[in-house]
């Protein structure tokens, strides 16, 4: 008589997701190894929020790609203030605002990239460089890019003030997303047409979960440029601009000689 345990019907599903499913139990509690995994994930999420980004080091790495850079900070003086006062994370430090205004190039730029720590410095450390590199590599002919602005203690709306000061027609804020227990390093992209102080979230398009295990940098860059082209055509971003980049890829003509 075969006394081997029946195969776990959840095993195949667990192989395809990082979500915590079918964890099992030990009596009325979780198994010890699952409890330890949860504790580790929780600690990694907390670290992602609290660990400080080194803006000078990031700016130096961006300069190695050929990017001009500016380093700024928000009006939140430290991390504790940033977490307690979201409003301060949406406005520039007064001295940095003055300096950026003086650095604006005549004519501005078509797209300004703002790399912001947000709620996960880990996301920026791991994913900002390959994403900026992919965005620059896929830039359409004739589009001008401004300097890459590295911002600390930053919320998404900080890009509005930065973009306005530097005369950007569009601003893309590459920001660390709120970490989850499965993904403490997700990077988000928030695109805003004609950024200015007072813009609200309905005026933005978001590309989320940019990381190797989520949306790869090259795919995120392609989606961003699709949105940029449509934003220029329509003169807006946000709820009036629907992301149909996947459909555009499917509808593209086949490469000559490619298999049907």
The pLDDT tens digits for 197-214 are 999 999 999 999 999 999
Q: Looking at residue 256, what is its pLDDT?
A: 47
Q: Looking at residue 252, what is its pLDDT?
A: 47
Can you give the pTM of this predicted structure? 0.87
Q: Looking at residue 1, what is its pLDDT?
A: 58
Q: Looking at residue 2, what is its pLDDT?
A: 65
Q: Looking at residue 53, what is its pLDDT?
A: 93
Q: Are 221 and 210 in contact (CB under 8 A)?
A: no
C-alpha R_g of the chain:
21
Show the low-confidence residues of the chain (pLDDT under 70): 1-2, 5-6, 248-260
CATH 3.30.110.40 fits 69-243, yes or no: no
Residues with Cβ within 8 Å of residue 240, at least 6 apart in sequence: 234
Q: Looking at residue 44, what is its pLDDT?
A: 86
% helix, strand, coil for the chain, step of 5: 40, 20, 40
Q: Looking at residue 249, what is its pLDDT?
A: 53
Q: Looking at residue 103, what is its pLDDT?
A: 87
Q: Are 154 and 89 in contact (CB under 8 A)?
A: yes
Q: Looking at residue 37, what is its pLDDT?
A: 87
pLDDT in tens, 22-79: 887 788 888 898 889 889 988 988 888 888 999 999 999 999 999 999 999 999 999 9
Q: Are 48 and 121 in contact (CB under 8 A)?
A: yes
């Amino acid at each position: 008589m075969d006394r081997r345990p029946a195969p776990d019907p959840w095993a195949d599903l667990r192989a395809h997701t990082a979500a915590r499913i079918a964890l099992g139990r030990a009596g009325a509690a979780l198994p010890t190894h699952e409890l330890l995994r949860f504790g580790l994930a929780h600690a990694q999420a907390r670290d992602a929020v609290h660990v400080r980004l080194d803006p000078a080091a990031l700016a130096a790495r961006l300069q190695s790609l050929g990017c001009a850079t500016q380093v700024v900070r928000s009006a939140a003086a430290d991390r504790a203030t940033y977490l307690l006062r979201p409003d301060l994370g949406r406005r520039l430090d007064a001295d940095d605002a003055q300096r950026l205004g003086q650095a604006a190039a005549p004519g501005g730029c078509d797209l300004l990239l703002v790399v912001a720590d947000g709620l996960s410095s880990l996301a920026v450390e791991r994913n900002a460089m390959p994403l900026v590199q992919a965005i620059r590599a896929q830039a359409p002919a004739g589009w001008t890019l401004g300097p890459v602005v590295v911002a600390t203690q930053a919320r998404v709306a900080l890009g509005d003030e930065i973009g306005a000061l530097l005369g950007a027609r569009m601003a893309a804020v590459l920001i660390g997303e709120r970490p989850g227990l499965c993904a403490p390093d997700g990077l988000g992209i928030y695109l805003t047409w004609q950024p200015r102080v007072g813009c609200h979230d309905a005026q933005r398009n978001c590309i989320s979960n940019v990381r190797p295990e989520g949306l790869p940098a090259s795919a995120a860059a392609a989606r961003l440029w699709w949105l940029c082209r449509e934003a220029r055509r329509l003169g807006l971003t946000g709820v009036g601009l629907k992301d149909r980049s996947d459909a555009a890829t499917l509808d593209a003509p086949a490469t000559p000689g490619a298999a049907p």
